[in-house]
Structure 1
Amino acid sequence: MDKSRFLSKVLGIYLIIVSLAMFANLQQFTIYVQELLKDAPLMLVTGFWTLIIGLLMVVSHNVWQWNWRLLITLIGWIILLKGASMIFYPHYVDRATLVFMQDTNIAYSAAGFELILGIILCYLGFKRSRKVKSVDQKSRNGNKS
């Protein structure tokens, strides 16, 4: 399987699940995030894991072509930068996160954006490519290539 399709499927499913959970439990999410922000060592560990995931994505998928694969590359870079900022500037991340979570309009808008992005990524990851489709049609017709 193509790395781009694999990452598109994983990121798409993740974004759909997280955005639907935010729509369903925004108040509880806000409480959890506020508690997480009070635990500096856990925030540091979260920053390291976020940085590692971002690095893995950037190193394995750094495609700068003007097509849908660029979206995955940009998401990887955003994850990498978020992880680095959580390590270098934890207090800035704390304040930005609180502002984001306490304004329900911003939080619901972000959840809606993530839901749409997740649906798009799932579509791109799970749709059949034309090449595979044409090979399947040839095999059904009994033609060998």
Structure 2
Amino acid sequence: MSSSPQIQARTGLFARVLGPYLIVAALTMVARASYMSTLLAQFDADSVWPWVTGAFVLPMGLVVIVLHPYWRGAAATIVSLLGWLTAFKGLALMAFPHAYLSMGHNAVGVAPWWQVGTVIVALVGLYLTVIGWIPAASQPISRGAARPPRDLPRAA
């Protein structure tokens, strides 16, 4: 079984990827809010795009599910939940594209609410980014750890 430091490291690695992605995706959606209806309509116009997108999204979610089956702690729970949501999104795009995209059209129709939801996604992304990229100040340095090499005097 994996030890706790290995689980934390894996959660941190996924947080490094998912956090910045969520921030960028959410901020661009809010910044281009007026374009979202057009984007959804064009995406829905050709039935091949939802299927191809789902074919790429589903394996991404499955990778997170398989490599991160951990649910202890806020960051680990968020990473695992995102894996499952991503897999369901990929499945929905492949199997039920019109139902999935009609929910998207309905959500964009009530602009203030999906924008609030998108800001919440950006905040979750910020949390994961901090967890993944900023080293924990509270982690003790073990006494058995190797010391960094000393600078040696230069010759000549």
Q: TM-score range by the shorter chain?
A: 0.7 to 0.9
Partner of 2:38: 31
Structure with higher helix content = 1
The SS at the match of 2:39 is: helix
TM-score by length of 1: 0.85
Matched, 1:123 2:130: yes
**Could you tell me how far apart the structure 1 residues matched to 2:126 and 2:79 are?**
14
Gaps of 5+ in 2: 1-5, 151-156
Instruction: Evaluate the alpha carbon distance shift between residue 105 and residue 3 of structure 1 in structure 2; reply closer, same or farther with a 3 A threshold.
Output: same
- Runs of 4 or more off by more than 3 Å in structure 1? none
State which of 31, 34, 42 in structure 1 corresponds to 2:49.
Answer: 42
**Could you tell me how far apart the structure 1 residues matched to 2:49 and 2:105 are?**
16
Q: CA RMSD in A?
A: 2.3
The SS at the match of 2:32 is: helix
Partner of 1:18: 25
Q: For residue 68 of structure 1, report the CA deviation from its aligned partner.
A: 2.4
Partner of 1:88: 95
Gaps of 5+ in 1: none
Q: For residue 3 of structure 1, report the CA deviation from its aligned partner.
A: 2.1
Aligned length in residues: 139
State which of 53, 59, 76 in structure 1 corresponds to 2:60.
Answer: 53
**Could you tell me how far apart the structure 1 residues matched to 2:18 and 2:37 are?**
23
Matched, 1:71 2:88: no
State which of 90, 93, 107 in structure 1 corresponds to 2:114.
Answer: 107
**Could you tell me how far apart the structure 2 residues matched to 1:16 and 1:76 are?**
17
Q: For residue 67 of structure 1, report the CA deviation from its aligned partner.
A: 4.3
**Could you tell me how far apart the structure 1 residues matched to 2:108 and 2:46 are?**
17
**Could you tell me how far apart the structure 2 residues matched to 1:108 and 1:67 are?**
23
Bigger radius of gyration? 2
**Could you tell me how far apart the structure 2 residues matched to 1:114 and 1:64 are?**
19
Alignment-mate amino acid for residue 5 of structure 1: G
**Could you tell me how far apart the structure 2 residues matched to 1:28 and 1:67 are?**
33
TM-score by length of 2: 0.79
**Could you tell me how far apart the structure 2 residues matched to 1:64 and 1:116 are?**
20
**Could you tell me how far apart the structure 2 residues matched to 1:15 and 1:46 are?**
17
The SS at the match of 2:70 is: coil
